[in-house]
Amino acid sequence: MKPMVNQVLRHISNTPIELIEYCQEQGIVMEAYSPMAHGEVLKNPVIAQMADKYGVSVPRLCIRYDLQLGMITLPKTANPQHMKDNGDVDFEISAEDMETLKNVDRIEDYGESGSFPVFGGRL
């Protein structure tokens, strides 16, 4: 059997747990694109407070969250310092805090990125 990857829009506030569990049971690797929801997670105070609790940036919290769910992440940046920071995820989010993050209110408006079909609800 050839390895398979399922690439999905995945970030805090958009966590399809059933799909993640199904893919893991089937041996399908999950790959999260847009783990920062095109920057929209940066505006969420619950996520910001959680990042402060761990002494990390919101992007680092988002990347760690996906990694703890067993996902590969595709954070995007052209800034070399952000690339370095994004790789510094040597901390663990508690089980209680993971549950909190899994239940953050869903982002309904992706701002300017909402014009892309995947964010505009057309896919």
pLDDT tens, position by position, 66-87: 999 998 887 777 888 888 888 8
The predicted structure's pLDDT at residue 64: 95
Where does the pLDDT of residue 11 fall: very low under 50, low under 70, confident under 90, or very high at 90 and above?
confident
In 3D space, the residue among 29, 34, 31 whose CA is nearest the CA of residue 4 turns out to be 29
pLDDT score of 117 more than 70 = no
Residue 82 burial (CB count, 10 A): 15
pLDDT score of 116 more than 70 = no
For residues 63 and 74, what is the distance between their CA atoms, to the nearest angstrom?
9
User: Model confidence over 14-67: pLDDT tens digits?
Assistant: 888 899 889 989 999 989 888 888 888 999 999 999 999 999 999 999 999 999
pLDDT score of 7 more than 80 = yes
The predicted structure's pLDDT at residue 118: 52
pTM over 0.85: no
Q: Are 56 and 46 in contact (CB under 8 A)?
A: no
